[in-house]
């Protein structure tokens, strides 16, 4: 499963997340480029990244920073 994430670093929050089946990798990559181009035109500085894992639970474990606030990260540890 591929996860296309738009992340607002300053707020530390995910703006949007889209999921793609593993077989749709090219679609996910094209969506990433379209999103980056769109954000550039709008002058919005968000981080755009594709993550790849068998399920969302694993992404939430290995890339907690995208999903949890600093307080949540510290308290859940």
Partner 1 sequence: MANNLNKTQVDKLGDRLRKGDITEAELRLLDDYRRSFSEAYEFVVRAIRDELGLEPTGRPAKSTTSIIEKLLRESIRLSQIQDIAGCRLVVSGIEEQNGTVTLLQKLFQRVTVVDRRKNPSHGYRAVHLIVRHEGKLVEIQVRTSLQHLWAELCEKKADVFDPLIKYGGGDSVTTALNLRFAAAIEDAELKEWQMSLADKVLSGLSARRGTLSKSKQAELDAFLKEQRTWRKKLDSYKKTIRDTLQELIAELENPDRG
Residues near partner 1, by CB under 8 A: 9-12, 25, 29, 32-33, 36-37, 40, 45, 47-54, 58-59, 61-65, 68-71, 73-75, 77
Q: How far is the CB of 10 from partner 1 (least distance, A)?
A: 7
Q: How far is the CB of 74 from partner 1 (least distance, A)?
A: 5
Instruction: Please state, as a whole number, how many other Cβ atoms lie within 10 Å of the Cβ of residue 69.
Output: 12
Q: How far is the CB of 39 from partner 1 (least distance, A)?
A: 9
Q: Residue 33, by phi and psi: left (phi above 0), alpha (psi -120 to 50) or beta?
A: alpha
Q: For residues 4 and 17, what is the distance between their CA atoms, to the nearest angstrom?
A: 6
């Amino acid at each position: 499963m591929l996860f296309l994430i738009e992340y607002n670093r300053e707020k530390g929050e995910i703006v949007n997340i889209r999921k793609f089946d593993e077989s749709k990798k090219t679609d996910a990559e094209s969506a990433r480029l379209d999103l980056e181009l769109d954000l550039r035109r709008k002058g919005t500085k968000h981080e755009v990244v594709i993550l790849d894992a068998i399920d969302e639970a694993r992404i939430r474990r290995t890339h907690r920073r995208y999903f949890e606030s600093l307080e949540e990260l510290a308290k859940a540890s």
